[in-house]
């Protein structure tokens, strides 16, 4: 029965793949386009540069030039909750009102991570700087209270 069904499909489509078919994808399935330069092909991120703290700190420049953030991780070494903020800047901004590109809650004596899927990442046009803030808001930076281990992977 299955062979009759396949034969009917072959006759219907003239034995050719659909125009939208992508290589390495089942016939009739359109692979989504991606923005990492691989077109519709499977793609894996290679050549990431891991960057890590050498001491407890409240900020770290993961990349001093434009690049792509793959992941950022922070381990809070204090009993104060706060935020892991990522900025499109070459250095930590001054305390006060800020507009981070990424901001996630950092629990007291806890850890948090930002991870983008393989083949993706967030593009930063200037640089990639991670800062730990103890303020109650993601839009206000207060440093000097939280220190911890910071790491990240960038392209």
DSSP letter for each residue of 35-64: SSS-TTS-------EEEE-SS-BSEEEEES
> Do 59 and 39 share a structural domain?
no
> Do 32 and 63 share a structural domain?
no
Task: Give the tens place of pLDDT for each residue, 109-147.
Answer: 999 999 988 778 999 999 999 999 999 999 999 999 999
Distance CA 104, CA 128 (A): 16
Please report the beta strands in 81-146, taking only residues with DSSP state E, as ranges in sequence order. Answer: 82-87, 96-97, 102-106, 111-115, 122-124, 128-133, 140-141
Q: Work out the average pLDDT over 54-83.
A: 95
> Do 55 and 28 share a structural domain?
no
Residue 107 phi/psi, 5° resolution?
Answer: -65, 155
Distance CA 82, CA 67 (A): 26
pTM of the model as a whole: 0.70
What is the residue range of 15's domain? 1-43
Q: How many domains does the chain have?
A: 2
> Do 11 and 71 share a structural domain?
no
Q: Work out the average pLDDT over 67-81.
A: 95
Q: pLDDT value at position 11? A: 43
Confidence of residue 46 (pLDDT cuts 50, 70, 90): low
> Do 56 and 118 share a structural domain?
yes
CA distances from 146 to 99, 100, 134 (A): 19, 17, 6
> Judging by DSSP bridges, how do beta strands 128-133 and 82-87 pair with one another?
antiparallel
Who wins on pLDDT, 77 or 10? 77
* 114: β partners: 72
> Do 108 and 91 share a structural domain?
yes
- 114, two tokens: 């930002």
11: left (phi over 0), alpha (psi -120 to 50) or beta: alpha
> Do 139 and 114 share a structural domain?
yes
Residue 150 has pLDDT above 60, yes or no: yes
The DSSP letter of residue 10 is H
Q: What is the mean pLDDT of the chain?
A: 79
Q: pLDDT value at position 10? A: 43
> Do 72 and 3 share a structural domain?
no
> Do 83 and 30 share a structural domain?
no
Highest mean pLDDT among 24-28, 37-41, 54-58: 54-58
Residues in the chain: 155
> Do 103 and 61 share a structural domain?
yes
Who wins on pLDDT, 86 or 26? 86
> Do 116 and 56 share a structural domain?
yes
Residue 29 has pLDDT above 80, yes or no: no
> Do 62 and 34 share a structural domain?
no
């Amino acid at each position: 029965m299955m062979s009759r069904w396949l034969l009917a499909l072959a006759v219907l489509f003239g034995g050719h793949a659909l125009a939208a078919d992508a290589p390495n994808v089942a016939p009739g399935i359109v692979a989504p386009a991606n923005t990492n330069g691989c077109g519709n092909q499977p793609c894996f991120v290679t050549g990431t540069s891991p960057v890590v703290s050498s001491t407890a700190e409240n900020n770290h420049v993961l990349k001093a030039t434009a690049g792509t953030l793959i992941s950022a991780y922070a381990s809070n070494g204090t009993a104060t909750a706060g935020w892991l903020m990522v900025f499109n800047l070459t250095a930590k901004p001054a305390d006060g009102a800020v507009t981070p590109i990424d901001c996630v809650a950092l629990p007291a004596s806890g850890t948090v991570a930002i991870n983008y899927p393989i083949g993706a990442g967030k593009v930063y046009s200037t640089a990639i700087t991670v800062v730990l803030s103890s303020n109650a808001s993601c839009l206000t930076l207060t440093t000097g209270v939280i220190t911890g281990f910071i790491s990240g992977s960038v392209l």
